[in-house]
Amino acid sequence: MGVRAADPDFWALVQVGAEAKPVCSGFVFTEGPVWHPRDRVLIFSDIKGDARYRWRDGSEVRRILSPTRQANGLTLDRDLNLIACEHLSSVVARFRPDGTREVLASHFEGRALNSPNDVVCGRDGSIWFTDPTYGRTPPWGDGREPELDFRGVYRLPPGHVPGAEPELAVPRDMFRQPNGLCFSPDEAWLYVDDTVAGTIHRFPVQPGGRLGEGALFADRIAEPDDRPGVPDGIKCDETGNVWVTGPGGVWVYSPDGVKLGEIDCPEPPANLAWGGDDG
């Protein structure tokens, strides 16, 4: 266990000899970590455990909701409402601080979404999410047949009416299984990874929030490598480096797509998040 540099710039990001250490355990399949800046807690999903938890440093982890319709990806909007991607219901939902649930998106072109997976919010109030089929595919999902014949990436524009159909943000045949997504710090770029293809694509965000033509940012993330782990969760740090789950743990790339290094993890990670008072 430890960290390994592929480029000397890696040591500006992590300490030599650093290790990833578990802070809580006993779950089935954890996902969707998001740090709540006001409550100072980490909120995360246990998909197959069908529960949502929060963890605060120095105290026990606490279950805050069950069932969750096997929620996966989580994020917070500008008002600190929790946005959740639900596998079993195939919707993107918003949860108010009082627990009120509101469906934001459920269908595209009159057909049910596959199983919204990961979600981010833009500073303009837009909401972006990926829609692979994992929530319908055993062993992760319940075996429902998809109604859509593609796996998309979608946008809910600012002022989106809850329940209205989302906008398709990328070409229909762009991804095999789009999964994690994140913005660069200035929101000039949107990154989307594809678990099956083992790739990350990067899209310029144009005025008005539309995406320009995407380009390959990184590939062969899961090949040829026999260690468990795939591209799934992805985040940018404050200087634009891209951190993505991969074989063995977390892989780190520079904003130019140069692989900087790897962080070993005690279990194959499915997602990651920045949090705590120090980020």
How many helices (H) and strands (E) the chain has is answered by 0, 23
Look at residue 225 in the predicted model and tell me its pLDDT. Answer: 77
To the nearest 10°, the Cα dihedral for 19, 252, 199, 42? 60
Instruction: Quote the pLDDT of residue 177.
Output: 98
Determine the pLDDT at residue 277. Answer: 86
pLDDT in tens, the chain (279 residues): 789 999 999 999 999 999 999 999 999 999 999 999 999 999 999 999 999 999 998 888 999 999 999 999 999 999 999 999 999 999 999 999 999 999 999 999 999 999 999 999 999 999 999 999 999 999 888 999 999 999 999 999 999 999 999 999 999 999 999 999 999 999 999 999 999 999 999 999 999 899 999 999 999 998 767 899 999 999 999 999 999 999 999 999 999 999 999 999 999 999 999 999 888
pTM above 0.85, yes or no: yes
**Contact call for residues 231 and 181 (beta carbons, < 8 A):** no
φ and ψ at residue 31, rounded to 5 degrees: -160, 175
CA distance 235 to 252: 10
* 146, amino acid identity: P
In whole angstroms, give the CA distance from residue 216 to residue 18: 30
Question: 3-class SS at 3?
Answer: strand
**Radius of gyration (C-alpha) of the chain in whole angstroms:** 18
Q: Is the dihedral of CA 37, 115, 251, 171 positive or negative?
A: negative
Neighbouring C-beta atoms of residue 117, cutoff 10 Å: 27
pLDDT of residue 139: 86
Residue with structure tokens 């049910």?
A: 112
Residues 162, 168 contacting (CB under 8 angstroms): no
Q: 10 Å Cβ neighbour count for 210? A: 13
